[in-house]
Amino acid sequence: MDIVYIRELQIQTVIGIYDWEREIRQTVSLDLDMATDIRAAAASEDINKTLDYKAVSKRLISFIEESEFLLIETMAEKVAAIVLAEFPVPWLRLRVGKPGAVTGARDVGVIIERGLQPGQPTLQQS
């Protein structure tokens, strides 16, 4: 498994549960690790044979800027669902941070993993 990644993607959005947070835009920061196979792109140097991190970034910027969230957990789930549904990514790890949300902390947030890692057995329904 190869990883295409995006680090510290900064996006402005409405996020938070307090009334004052609902009236302003705050910065969220995303780190994204996306499973892919880069061999075909490396052999051909063809952007169409790889995961286009610019296209992923533009899609997420557009979605997050146009949305409002109460919880960072909700944002993380929706971002993961978009990436898995719209791009050739079988697995991802996503960190969503909300810098400055807690006094004394540089950043707080969540890290989630979604999808199926190569070699991981599928879940059996009983």
CATH of the domain at 30: 3.30.1130.10
Count CB atoms within 10 A of the CB of residue 24: 10
- 112 or 1, greater pLDDT: 112
Q: Is pLDDT of 99 > 60?
A: yes
Would you say residue 124 lies in a domain?
no
The answer to whether residues 62 and 84 touch, using CB atoms and an 8 Å cutoff, is no
Would you say residue 122 lies in a domain?
no
The answer to whether residues 52 and 6 touch, using CB atoms and an 8 Å cutoff, is no
Which of the following is catalytic: 54, 58, 78, 98? 98
Count CB atoms within 10 A of the CB of residue 10: 11
* pTM of the predicted structure, to 2 decimals: 0.89
Instruction: Give the E-state strand segments of the chain in sequence order.
Output: 2-15, 26-36, 68-69, 91-97, 109-115
Q: Tell me, what's the pLDDT at 120?
A: 61
Write out the residue range of the structural domain in which residue 72 sits. Answer: 2-115
User: 7 φ, ψ to 5°?
Assistant: -120, 135
Q: Is pLDDT of 119 > 90?
A: no
Q: Is pLDDT of 117 > 90?
A: no
Would you say residue 42 lies in a domain?
yes
Would you say residue 125 lies in a domain?
no
Q: Tell me, what's the pLDDT at 1?
A: 87
Q: Provide the pLDDT confidence category of residue 116 given band limits of 50, 70 and 90.
A: confident
The string of pLDDT tens digits covering residues 24-76 is 999 999 999 999 999 999 999 999 999 999 999 999 999 999 999 999 999 99
98 is catalytic: yes
DSSP, res 49:
G
Q: Provide the pLDDT confidence category of residue 126 given band limits of 50, 70 and 90.
A: very low
User: 97 φ, ψ to 5°?
Assistant: -115, 155
Number of domains in the chain: 1
DSSP, res 112:
E
Q: Provide the pLDDT confidence category of residue 118 given band limits of 50, 70 and 90.
A: low
Would you say residue 86 lies in a domain?
yes
